[in-house]
Amino acid sequence: MNLRQLPLALALTAAFVLPAQAQSLVELYDAARSFDASYQSAKSFYEANLSKAEQAKAGLLPSANLAMGVNRSNIDSDIATFERSFGNQSATLSASQPLYRPANVATAAQGKKSADVALAQLQAADQDLIVRVSQAYFDVLTAGDSLNFVRAQKSAVSEQLASAKRNFEVGTATITDTREAQARYDLVLAQEIAAENDLRVKKVALDQLTGKTDAAPKPLAVPLVMAPVTPADVTRWVAQSEEMSPAIRQAQLSLDVAQLETQKAQAGNKPTLDLTGSYNVTKNNGSSSTALDYRTNVAQVGLSFNLPLFAGYAIQNRIKETLSLEDKARSDLEAAKRGVAQATRTAFFGVESGLGQVKALEAAEASSQSALDATKLGYEVGVRINIDVLNAQTALFDTKAKLAKARYDVLLGGLKLRQANGTLKADDLNAVSALLVK
C-alpha cells in the first residue's frame, strides 16, 4: 500500500470498526454528571445551603409555642382530720414577632449569600467535570491513534524487512540492511505493547469517570478544520472573567458575607424590640382552701425591649475581628481576580500556540510523506540505504501521532480557556461533538 493512502485507510478502518454503542462527548458527559462523586457532592452541598438559607430567615419571622400541663395534689394531715385532693389543667399559647433585630436581618442576608456561594461552587464543579470528561475522552482517542499509528508503522517496517531479506538473498543488499530492519521491527513491537497498555489504562479511567462499561468515544471526522479563537483579543476574555468566573464570584460573595458579619457584630450595641403575646387557660379542680371548681383565662400582649449596656468589651473586640476578616476577604478577592486573569491569558495563548502547531505539523506531515516517497525511490534505484527508509518511516508516523495529539490539545484547550474565564457551559460540548464521526 502506498503510504500516501495510509491516513485514508486508517480513517476508513476506524469507521468500520467503530462499535455500535460508541458514545459522543455529550453523551459521556451526561453519564458522568449523574455518576461522578465530586459533582454529586457539590450538588448536595448546594441543596443543603438552599435549606440553610431558609433557616436564616427564621429570625425575621414570627414564632409560636403551645404549652400544656396537668397537676394533681393530695393533702393528708395527722394533726387534724383533714384530707383533700385537687388539681389543675393548663394550656398556654404564646407568640412573638421580631420588630427590630438588625443582627437577624444580617443573618438572613448571609444565608442568601451562602446559597449563592454554593451555586458558584456547583458551577465550578460542573465546569471541572466538563474538562475532566473531555480530557479522559481525548486521552482515549490519543491512545487509540497512537496504537493505530504504531501498528501501521509495524506493517510498513515488516514490508521493509521482507524487502531487505529478499535483496540480501539475491545479493543486492548487505546483511546490515536486514539486521537494521529487524532491530526497528523489534522496537516497534515493544512500542505496540506499550501503546496497547496505555489505551487500556485510558479506557479504564474514562469508564471510572462516566460509570460506563467499555465506553467507546467517537473519533474525530477527517479532514478536520480547526476554528480560530473567537474573540481573538485576550483582553476581552479577561474582561469576561471578572463577570463570569465562579472563583471571582465566590470571592466577591465571601467579601459580602464578611461585611454582613461586621454588621452583625455592630448590632451587638443596638437595642432589640419584639412584639409578644400569650393566652393561658387554667382549669382548677378545687384547691387547698375550697372544693369548688373554677377556671382562669389570662390574655397578654406587650412589647419586649432590650438594650445592651456593657458586655466586658466583647462586642468592641468582635467588631475589630470582623473588620480584619473583611480586609482579608477583600485581599482574597483581589488575589482571585489576578489568578483568574493569569489563567485566562495562559489558556488563550496556549490555544493560539496549539493552532500554530497544528498548521506546522500538517505541513511537516506532507513534507515527511514526500521525503519518505523520495527515500523509497532512492532505495529502489540504489542511492539510499535501508536505514534511510526506516528513519523516514519513523519520522512520518511520529509526525502523524504528534499532529493527532495537537488537534485534541487544541479542542481541549478551547474548553479550558472557557473554564479559565468562567464562561464554559455544557452547550460548548456540542461544537466539539459536531467534529466527531457521525
* 279 domain-assigned: no
Distance CA 149, CA 192 (A): 9
Q: Which of 154, 43, 60 shows the shortest CA–CA distance to 104?
A: 60
The number of distinct structural domains making up the chain is 1
pLDDT-flagged residues of the chain (< 50): 1-17
Place of cell 536486514: 178
Is residue 93 situated within a structural domain? no
Residue 226 DSSP one-character state: P
Whether the CA torsion 244, 247, 253, 259 is positive or negative: it is: negative
Which amino acid, residue 204?
V
Residue 428 falls within a domain, yes or no? yes
**Global pTM?**
0.84
Classify 81 as helix, strand or coil. Answer: coil
Residue 74, beta-bridge partner list: 85
- Residue 223: phi, psi to the nearest 5? -75, 160
Domain presence at residue 409:
yes
Which range marks the domain in which residue 250 is found?
24-61+101-270+308-433
The reported pLDDT for the residue numbered 145 is 93
The answer as to whether 8 is a domain residue is: no
pLDDT in tens, 161-211: 888 888 788 877 778 888 988 998 999 999 999 999 999 999 999 999 999
Q: What pLDDT, on the 0 to 100 scale, is given for residue 22?
A: 80
pLDDT tens for 92-130 read 999 999 999 999 999 999 999 999 999 999 999 999 999
CB–CB of 400/137 below 8 Å? no
* pLDDT for the residue numbered 5: 45
Residue 428 in contact with residue 209, Cβ under 8 Å?
A: no
The neighbouring-strand residues paired with 397 are none
> What is the strand order of the sheet 293-306 is part of?
63-77, 82-100, 272-285, 293-306
325 domain-assigned:
yes
Handedness of CA 43, 48, 52, 55 (dihedral sign): positive
CATH assignment of the domain containing 340: 1.20.1600.10
Residue 298 lies in a domain: no
The single residue listed with the C-alpha cell 470528561 is: 133
- Cβ(267)–Cβ(374) under 8 Å? no
pLDDT of residue 10: 43
* Structural domain includes residue 284: no
